Amino acid sequence: MNETPATSTEKLADDFHAVLTETEELLKSVASLGNEKAGVLRANVDQHLASAGAQLGLIREQSIAHAKAAAATAEQYVQDNPWRAVGIVALVGAVAGFVAGLLASRRS
Residue 97 belongs to some domain of the structure: no
Q: What gap in Å lies between CA 40 and CA 46, rounded to an integer?
A: 10
Of residues 73 and 21, more confidently modeled? 73
Q: What gap in Å lies between CA 65 and CA 10, rounded to an integer?
A: 15
Residue 27 belongs to some domain of the structure: yes
Q: What gap in Å lies between CA 13 and CA 59, rounded to an integer?
A: 10
* pLDDT value for 91: 94
Residue 11 belongs to some domain of the structure: yes
Count: domains in the chain: 1
Residue 44's domain comprises 5-79
pLDDT digits (tens, 9 = 90+) for 24-80: 777 776 666 666 666 677 777 777 777 777 878 888 888 899 999 999 998 998 899
3-class SS letters over 4-73: CHHHHHHHHHHHHHHHHHHHHHHHHHHHCCCCHHHHHHHHHHHHHHHHHHHHHHHHHHHHHHHHHHHHHH
* pLDDT value for 93: 94
Residue 16 belongs to some domain of the structure: yes
Distance of CA 40 to the CA centre of its chain: 33
